[in-house]
Structure formats: structure tokens, C-alpha cells
A and B are shown apart, each in its own frame.
Chain A
Amino acid sequence: MDVNHPAQTFDYVRSADQDSPVAALHPVVIVGAGPVGLTLAIDLAKKGIPVVVLDDDHRLSTGSRAICFAKRTLEIFDRLGIGERCVNKGVSWNVGKVFLREQLLYEFNLLPERNHQRPAFINLQQYYVEAFLNDAARAESNVDLRWKNKVVGVTQGDESVTLSVDTPDGIHSINARYVVACDGARSPIRGFIGQESKGQVFRDRFLIADVKMTAPFPTERWFWFDPPFHPNQSVLLHKQPDDVWRIDFQLGWDADPELEKRPENVLPRVRALLGADTAFELEWVSVYTFACMRMEKFRHGRVLFAGDSAHGVSPFGARGANSGIQDADNLGWKLAAVVNGAAPDALIDSYCAEREFAADENIMNSTRSTDFITPKSEVSKLFRNAVLELARDHPFARRIVNSGRLSMPSTYADSPLSTPGDDTSFNKGVALGAPAVDAPVQVDGRHCWFLSLIGKTFTVVQLIDANTLKITIVGADQRENQTVFAEPSGDWKHRYSERVGTTYLFRPDQHVCARWHTYDEQSIQRAVNRALGKNAQ
């Protein structure tokens, strides 16, 4: 039996720091135990870095928040040990359908290839994800999770940052070499250091109803433009675990959020969609407006920003939590290397370069989707409607219809950490800066997934003959290298290369940082050094 996750609470425990005569110094303090802060904490802990996590609350997230978690997130969660739990509890889906009025315009499959361990998406309430992350965090002796610890002040020094922390026992101070602010869209830390997140607010309102019912709708993402049950607006329907469905009604800018939230106004809207005979219960109802924004820089001295504190998007591409988790994945290994003394502080600047670029990509996609769903002008609406009407009979127009381009991981194409190597002469495979792609392989005659073999640290993968992959997990020095031999499947070769000699170097976050047609020890060492921010040319 699952415990009732939404109601789970965590106890405030007085920490030794509160009785210390001088403020304690921690290598890393994370502010915020949301999905991003917890992901980062577990990752750092697994890399041997002790972390303190402060959260002003003592509960899981409540209400209607993230439900769609992308394949890449699940792959990152696999490394943290919670991927399987999320997939088992979640609703897996790959297919989306778009309707205009009553008619199906087109459908898309987000994972057209077979033989990947994880689906394109699962739907799972954010409170489950947070509950699983919490369990994993508490299992790490390196993670010190402190509930009801609210950061109320930040002072930056040359060597460390001082945080003032308010608790039920009063205020105390702690120091950290690095602070990562994962404190959400309103980020108090951002305010304390005099920064802001800037962008565009969309002039539209959305009613989000989480509804409990048993209904025969398939596990697909259904999006309607101008449906008969909610004329002139859009509606999104999506299945979550526990027979809960997310229904998202566009209301327009003039709607009164307080009135719209009342059950007597919500129930008829839901009934119009489901039909009068379907029994259902309202789980949670809220009215949102959405914005696309970001901080100009994700690093300010020793304070780093990740997740919603650094950037925000509208939910139509499920890019909020998914991109925040990729922030954490990008930052974890870099921060660990810097704290361990294996890399210079400047490596952290590459976090900003890569993830600010990713934020722009997410904001661009999210803005385009929102502009299609919520046209800002008469002429924008005219073209939107023209596209929709053409889409029925004209394949090209279906490709323009935009009901949300769903979260895909970013490729760090121009990353300073990448080594060009032979990249440009590969005519296929996984590009420089892109995340590794999964495929089945065999180890000792047993099936396993490629992604499970790479990414603890830097990993070199070499196709030494048609049937053998040599996978070397790079240790702190050569003698600590670990080698595994695997047999690539046809899918692996199709996705990476058939050419014997092909050598890929993956970073600890599984992104490709170099690839060559032949194996050369020295080139690999140089590429690793470069990816650690050392002697970059």
C-alpha cells in the first residue's frame, strides 16, 4: 500500500548548527526541497558530497502542479534510483491527439522508435515525485534535510556565503562554500541578492481541474481547439494515476479567477466535457496565468540558481520541472568536481552557459506554443484559425498546429566543454553535446540498457569489434578505471555507429563531450581535462 502521499509531513528537527558557537561551514547548501533541490541533493550525495537542504515548509507540494515527466527526467531518476518507482506508479504515454471542434485533426507519437527502456512521458502527480525523491534523499547519509528552515537573509563573502535561517527555535546562521537556490518561481534568495527574473506574462487564464473518475478515455494527451463543450477556447485532458484526470480549460483574460474556482461554476464545465452520466469528484481546482521568464545570469558569485528560481515557462510543453531537473543534472557533477578539488571553480560557469542556453530554448518553445494557443492579436488569431482549418486536409498544416511542443533535453551544441574530435565527419549517431540515447545491450549474455552502464563519472565507450563494446568508467586516476564489456544490439549500432573503432566520451551527465572514429588515449585525456574546465584551448 502506498502511504497517502499528499498528506505526508516531515518533522522539524533541531540541528547541531543551531547550538554551535560559530556558524558551521558546509560545502554545499541547497535552498528548497522541491523536485529540483532534491534531485541535486541526491546526485551530490551519491558523488560523495555532504549537502544540507533547507526548506521553509514541511510538506509535499499540494494542488495541481506538474504531471508530465519526460523520458530524460526518468533517465536521470534512474541514476538516482527512483526511475522504476516513478514508472510503476505513473501512467506511461507516447501518443497525443489534437482535435478541432469535434474532429480529430492529427495524432503524434513522441517516441516512434522501439527498444528504449523509458516511455516518452509518464504522468505522475508532482507530490508522488517529491515523495519518492524524499525517500531517496533520506536514504543518503550525505543528505541533511532540514524542514521548517526558512532562509531570511543572504550575505556573500569571497570564500563563502552566509545564510540566515529562521526556524521554530529562532534564527541562526550557517555558511556554505556554494549555495544553490532551488527556491521556486518566487525565489526569496533571488530577491535578497537584488536580482529578478524577467519576461512576458500571457494575458490569458486557465482553469485547472483535477477530477477523480473512472472513465474510458485512453492514456493519451487530448487537446481540443474550440470544442463544442467549451466553445472558442482550448481544453486539455490527461490521465494521472489513482483515476485522477487533469482537465485544463482556457478561460480568456477577462475571466474572474475567484468566481471560476467555485464548484458551481466548475462542475458544469466538467460535465459538458464528460457527459451528464459520468460520475466524478473534484480533487483540486485552481486558476492560473502563465509567464515565460528567466534571470539574466544563473550564477551570482557563490550563489547559483536552478529550476523555477532561474526560469519559468508556461506548462504547455511540460518544461518546468523537466528542465529544472536537467539543471540539477548539469550542475551536480560540476559542483562535485569543484568541491572535491578535481576541477577549477570556472567549471561552474559552464553550468550557466549551458543551462541559460537551454532556458532560452525552453522559453522559445513555450512562448511559441502559448502564442498559438492564446493568440495575442487579431491577425495572430486569424492565422492560427487558418492553420487549424487547413490541417484537416493538408498534412503540412498539421505540422504547424502547436498544442505544446513537449519537453526534450537540450543539446549543448557550442559548449566550451566539448572537444570537436571527429564529430563533423560522423554522418549519424548522437551529436556532440546531446544526451546519450538508450538502446538494449547485453552484458555476460544478459539483456541490459545502455544508459545504465554510463554516467557515474566520465565514460569512454569504444566499439572494438562488430560484437563488442568496451565501456571504461574513468576513475580519478588510470588505476581506478573500471571496464565492462558489452554486446551492442542492432539498435545501439543504428543509434551510435556501426564503424569499428568508434569511440564516444560521455560526461557524468551522459551528454556526449567528444567522439572519434578511432581510439586514442591522449585525445581522451585531453577531452576529459577540457570538460573539467582545465587547460581548455
Chain B
Amino acid sequence: MLNIEPNLANPDAFYEALIDMHRELTTEQSHLVNAKLVLLLANHIGDVSVLHDAMRRARDSEAQP
């Protein structure tokens, strides 16, 4: 089950770190870094049903008008 309830001890700090990760990167480099991040996290999670759920949620919110 994908956890969609708050799970980060410090959401603001996480968000800052996420944006910081991209500092001084071109958009193209940032895309690559994001892709790597997705892959690293996906492997860490491992459970495909959780991953599918996350993929569906990520995509559904995009497909909505």
C-alpha cells in the first residue's frame, strides 16, 4: 500500500533539499537527475504494487482537465 499520509519528519527541509539538488543544473541535467532519483527510490521501495499505485496517482493527477 502506498502511504499517502504525512511520513516526512520535516517536510520543509525535504523540499528544500529536493530543490537544492538541482542547483546550477541545466533543465536537461535536472531531468536526468530526476530520472535517476526515481530509479533509486523505486528500487528501494521494491514492491511493484506500491510502485504501480504511485505511478497511477502521479499520472492521474496530470491527465485530469
Q: Mark A residues whose CB is within 8 Å of B.
A: 382-383, 385-387, 389-390, 394, 396-397, 400
**Residue B56 is within 8 A (CB to CB) of chain A in the complex:** no
User: Chain A contacts of B18 at CB under 8 A?
Assistant: none
Minimum distance in angstroms from B5 CB to a CB of chain A: 27
Q: Is A390 a contact partner of B31 (Cβ separation < 8 A)?
A: no
Instruction: Identify 12 residue pairs between A and B in the complex whose beta-carbon atoms are under 8 Å apart, listed by A's number.
Output: A382-B31, A382-B32, A383-B35, A383-B39, A385-B35, A386-B36, A386-B38, A386-B39, A390-B39, A394-B40, A397-B39, A400-B39
Minimum distance in angstroms from B28 CB to a CB of chain A: 9
Q: Which of B20-65 contact A (CB under 8 A)?
A: 31-32, 35-36, 38-40, 43
Minimum distance in angstroms from B22 CB to a CB of chain A: 15
User: Chain A contacts of B31 at CB under 8 A?
Assistant: 382
Residue of A nearest to B35 (CB): A386
Q: Is A389 a contact partner of B43 (Cβ separation < 8 A)?
A: no
Using a Cβ cutoff of 8 Å, how many contacts connect chains A and B? 25
User: Chain A contacts of B43 at CB under 8 A?
Assistant: 394, 396-397
Q: Mark B residues whose CB is within 8 Å of A.
A: 31-32, 35-36, 38-40, 43
Minimum distance in angstroms from B44 CB to a CB of chain A: 9
Residue of A nearest to B44 (CB): A396
Of A386, A394, A396, A397, most buried by chain B (CB within 10 Å of CB) is A386
Closest 7 A/B residue pairs (Cβ): A386-B35, A396-B43, A386-B36, A383-B35, A382-B35, A382-B31, A390-B36
Q: Is B32 a contact partner of A385 (Cβ separation < 8 A)?
A: yes
User: Chain B contacts of A382 at CB under 8 A?
Assistant: 31-32, 35
User: Chain B contacts of A387 at CB under 8 A?
Assistant: 39
The complex places the Cα of A383 from the Cα of B31 at a distance, in Å, of 9
Minimum distance in angstroms from A434 CB to a CB of chain B: 24
The complex places the Cα of A383 from the Cα of B32 at a distance, in Å, of 7
User: Chain A contacts of B35 at CB under 8 A?
Assistant: 382-383, 385-386
